[in-house]
Amino acid sequence: MTNPHYPVTGATAVRPEDVLPDDTDHTDFDGVAIRKGTIAAFLQNAMRWSDPAVAEPERQELMRAIVESLPALRAVGLFDVLEVRDERLRKILAGS
């Protein structure tokens, strides 16, 4: 199955530089601007948010950042192939 989000390069595998060249820090997918590092930032924020030792004010800040990243993450198809393990976070994301 071909992913409509990525250009067909003729290769059997897509490399990071096929999606975002080294000299570029952002791109558009389906009209959504995506910065380099968006997925890594989401993963770090989600892991921190899932930590029960995190105080509520920080958890709220993390959630704001997570929700802000959702359009970009959906545009690249992240949740089409990966599922969030934390059930609480998965339910929040499904409703956002």
Tens digit of pLDDT for each residue in 43-94? 999 999 999 999 999 999 999 999 999 999 999 999 999 999 999 999 989 9
User: Does residue 53 lie in a domain region?
Assistant: yes
Q: Which domain does 47 fall in, by range? A: 16-95
Task: Please give the backbone phi and psi of residue 32, each rounded to the nearest 5 degrees, phi first.
Answer: -105, 125
User: Does residue 66 lie in a domain region?
Assistant: yes
User: Does residue 51 lie in a domain region?
Assistant: yes
User: Does residue 1 lie in a domain region?
Assistant: no
User: Does residue 88 lie in a domain region?
Assistant: yes
Domain tally, the chain: 1
pTM above 0.85, yes or no: no
Q: Are the C-beta atoms of 39 and 82 separated by less than 8 Å?
A: no
Task: Please give the backbone phi and psi of residue 33, each rounded to the nearest 5 degrees, phi first.
Answer: -75, 130
Instruction: State how far the alpha carbon of 14 is from the alpha carbons of 30, 51, 52, 85, 87, in Å.
Output: 18, 33, 37, 26, 31
Type of residue found at 20? L
